[in-house]
Amino acid sequence: MKPVKVGLLGLGTVGTGVVRIVEGHQEDLASQVGSPIVIEKILVQNKNKARNIAIDQDKLTEDPWDIIRHPDIDVIVEVMGGIGLTKEFILEALALGKHVVTANKDLMALHGPEILAKAQENRCDIMYEASVAGGIPIIRTLVEGFSSDRINKIMGIVNGTTNFILTKMSQEGASYLDVLKEAQELGYAESDPTSDVEGLDAARKMTILATIGFRANVALEDVSVQGISSVTKEDILYAKRLGYEVKLLGIAERQDDLISISVQPTMVKQSHPIASVNGVFNAVYVYGEAVGETMFYGAGAGELPTATSIVSDLVAVVKNLKLGVNGMQGSLAYKEKKLKTDDQISSKYFLLLKVADRAGVLARITQVFADFEVSLESVLQQPTPSNPEAEIIIITHDANKAAIQKVLATFESLEVVHKVKSVYRVEG
């Protein structure tokens, strides 16, 4: 049996995991695809670097073109990260008729349509399961499992770092900055955590999921993004008191072919399954017209969970190769993208206000909501001892985003409202 030869771009944490699985599971892989899968060449930055895995030195190269233009290599596995040069390598590989498996969410979020078009043009496969939610097979599920259904909503915890931070704040009453420091010490957060904590990483993943789920080319700039750096212990305490957990959720919704995509801290009812997803774990909740509600849960990162998704993609490519059906997936994004306006985006909201503690204030505030046709589900007012302020907690019924923005703008000019401390979307 002629082996299928693979070129691996990158030998970091995930690349090492790919080598471990491919070399350690040869019998299982060969039984699935009908031939051995061999890692022929591996791109590294330094061939002489000490490694925690035994690798034939002859397989290592510091020149990416040794792999991309190698005549015997059938599949390129990209785990080096980055955008500019990596995009060039992948487009060249596809132009040469090589199939590509990548874990690069940044690349697929920003340049997915161009890369998918190049793959289709050259009858090549481009697989990117590991770009979202690590070991959870969510992309293949959306592409294949929901191929006969119509997805109306995708809601997920797709960033483990922020979920770890919010879980610690909820369970231990710790402050955001203290938990962020711990996450950095444990290696869950980078020294510059901006991409994670400001929601950018989750936004890239939601761009990919929304594109697949709604069959339209969603761009990163279509995603409304808010991170968790302003979430306080007080917010989480109030949420728990009202029966909610605070989670950074990516939410993509479709109604009458109009779509909206956002990433934001959200209050989730404690009875909702996604509220109990803690630590660095990820979960994606999918609402289909036919199947109803489904949830996919698992490790969102790490050497072996991510590597498992990559090798699963590799197996799918090799099976297609054996059947002669590479590049016949068809266009995933064949629908026109129509984005909702703010007055078409609707949800419940939680608001925490610091107000003057005197008669008539609550009536004045509720009148503002009435002026913009926002109805209220619950209102809780409590005085703060030895302070001339009171706190008012409000949860609205479903209200459109534009109306809530008008309410907030009015509060800014209202003398009795000293501060709008917190505003969160409410789910579940």
Give the HSE-up count for residue 264: Cα atoms under 13 Å, Cβ half-sphere: 20
Contact present, 269 and 428 (Cβ < 8 Å): yes
Distance (Å, whole) CA 68 – CA 8: 10
Contact present, 104 and 128 (Cβ < 8 Å): yes
Residue type, position 369, single letter: F
User: CA nearest 300: which of 144, 65, 141, 136?
Assistant: 136
Q: What is the DSSP letter of 273?
A: G
The pLDDT of residue 331 is 64
Q: Model pTM?
A: 0.93
Contact present, 8 and 79 (Cβ < 8 Å): yes
Q: Which CATH superfamily is domain 4-131+303-323 in?
A: NAD(P)-binding Rossmann-like Domain (3.40.50.720)
Give the contacts of 230 (CB within 8 A, at least 6 positions apart): none
Which residue numbers are catalytic? 205
Distance (Å, whole) CA 308 – CA 303: 9
Q: CATH code for 138-299?
A: 3.30.360.10
Token pair belonging to 219: 């761009």
Distance (Å, whole) CA 153 – CA 206: 11
Give the contacts of 124 (CB within 8 A, at least 6 positions apart): 94, 97, 98, 99, 100, 118, 326, 327
Phi, psi of 87 (to 5 degrees): -60, -45
Burial class (CB in 10 A: 0-12, 13-18, 19+), 110: middle
Residues paired with residue 248 on neighbouring β-strands, in sequence order: 265
For residue 281, what are the CA distances in angstroms to 75, 112, 158, 275, 339? Answer: 30, 26, 8, 12, 30
Q: CATH code for 342-427?
A: 3.30.70.260
Query: ∠ CA 408-412-414 to the nearest 5 degrees?
Result: 110
The pLDDT of residue 386 is 66
Query: Whats the size of the chain, residue-wise?
Result: 428
Contact present, 395 and 361 (Cβ < 8 Å): no
Distance (Å, whole) CA 3 – CA 74: 10
The pLDDT of residue 230 is 95
CB atoms near residue 58 (< 10 Å): 7
Distance (Å, whole) CA 376 – CA 358: 21
The pLDDT of residue 332 is 73
Token pair belonging to 277: 């997803």
The pLDDT of residue 188 is 87
Contact present, 148 and 288 (Cβ < 8 Å): no
- For each successive 10 residues of the chain (428 residues), what is the average pLDDT? 93 94 93 93 93 91 96 97 96 97 95 93 94 90 92 96 96 95 90 95 97 95 97 94 96 96 98 95 96 92 88 95 84 88 97 92 95 95 76 95 98 94 95
For the chain, what are the domain ranges?
4-131+303-323, 138-299, 342-427
The pLDDT of residue 330 is 63
